[in-house]
Amino acid sequence: MSGRPAPRGRLVGVSTPEPKTCATCGRTIEWRKKWERSWDDVRYCSTACRRHKPGPTDEALERSITDLLASRAASSTICPSEAARAVGGEDWRDLMEPARRAARRLVAAGQVEITQGGRVVDPSTAKGPIRVRRAR
């Protein structure tokens, strides 16, 4: 024993299940004690995500991202705004956050990677401009 206290929120000697990915926003869902009995049923990270399940626009954004990447060189990246423009036309700005969510879901599926400054970043914590590329 190192004599150090256990990290806050963690039980010593108790194994926690692997984190999951939110079905709506693609962010990581960390295991919580309150979900101990229902962890297998947890699919959403928040009430807001539970209310806004992915629909046809979200699927169109995912398709747009994969189609844009397929039409470019293997090492090329795209901005989520390109997918938003392809799906939303004149009202593309309203689709920016849904496009980022679509990119995070594709990361969880292992199809793409999200980068900043040319380095792969955790999509759950990335802030600011991002680029999307095919998974390597």
pLDDT tens track for 127-136: 999 999 999 8
Q: Rounded mean pLDDT of 111-129?
A: 92
Q: pTM for the complete prediction?
A: 0.75
Q: Where are the domains of the chain?
A: 1-53, 56-134
> What are 47-73's pLDDT values in tens digits?
888 888 889 999 999 999 999 999 999
**Contacting residues for 36 by C-beta, under 8 A, at least 6 apart:** none
What's the pLDDT score for residue 63? Answer: 97
CATH number of the domain at 56-134, please? Answer: 1.10.10.10
Contact 134, 111 (CB under 8 A): yes
